[in-house]
Amino acid sequence: MFVEDLVAGLLLGLSGGLYCLGWCALVMVPHLASGPGVGVRVGLWKVVEFSVGRLVTYLAAGASLFLVGQTLLASRGARAATGVLTVALAVLVLLQGVARSFPTVPGCVRLGERPWLRRYPLLGGMFSASHLCPPLLLCLAQAARAGGLVPALASTAGFFLGTTAVSLPLALACVGGRWPGVRATAAVASVFCGLWFAAVGVAMIVN
């Protein structure tokens, strides 16, 4: 049963990963491309760190749904909580974008050196995984129907592996950091992505 749930989650992650890739790209591509051009190997590590952050949220959500039931997905509280986490993601993306858009401003330099902002991929993964895209909803519904807590966690872990495999090419964005023009453009793009996330999060909370 464990293997079946793991494989089912994996196939769902691989098939639906491209749908989720756009959301993840808005979080990671500007961050990777606005860096110092450290190379694909470091980019891969950052994508893996981002994926670990997603895994933490996926496992927590899978366990919660198994314990509480599928009605949690349709609750007003779940949508509001998702909106709050999306706003938190927006703040993270905005601060990262501001810190890299104005590297000569003392306040921005100190902001970029904050330990928690250095963990941007991990925090970004945790917050972005709260976005209830259709593939993730299917995964969580499958976890809620699982015959035990372990199969529920196996299903969400498989989904994580599938979506991680699809998102690994995002590491190539690190190459763009070798050129000052690309770095500056990516930093500004982070600000606009943060504003968009903020609008989405507020809409979830209000509606």
- pLDDT score, position 70: 59
Tokens of 82: 């998702």
For the cut 80, the answer to whether the pLDDT of residue 86 exceeds it is yes
Residue whose C-alpha is closest to residue 39's, from 164, 152, 173, 187: 173
- pLDDT score, position 89: 92
C-alpha–C-alpha distance, residues 16 and 159, integer Å: 9
List, in sequence order, the alpha helices (H) in 34-119.
40-68, 76-101, 106-112, 115-118
Higher pLDDT, 106 or 173: 173
Residue whose C-alpha is closest to residue 176's, from 48, 30, 50, 45: 30
The C-alpha R_g of the chain, in whole angstroms, comes to: 17
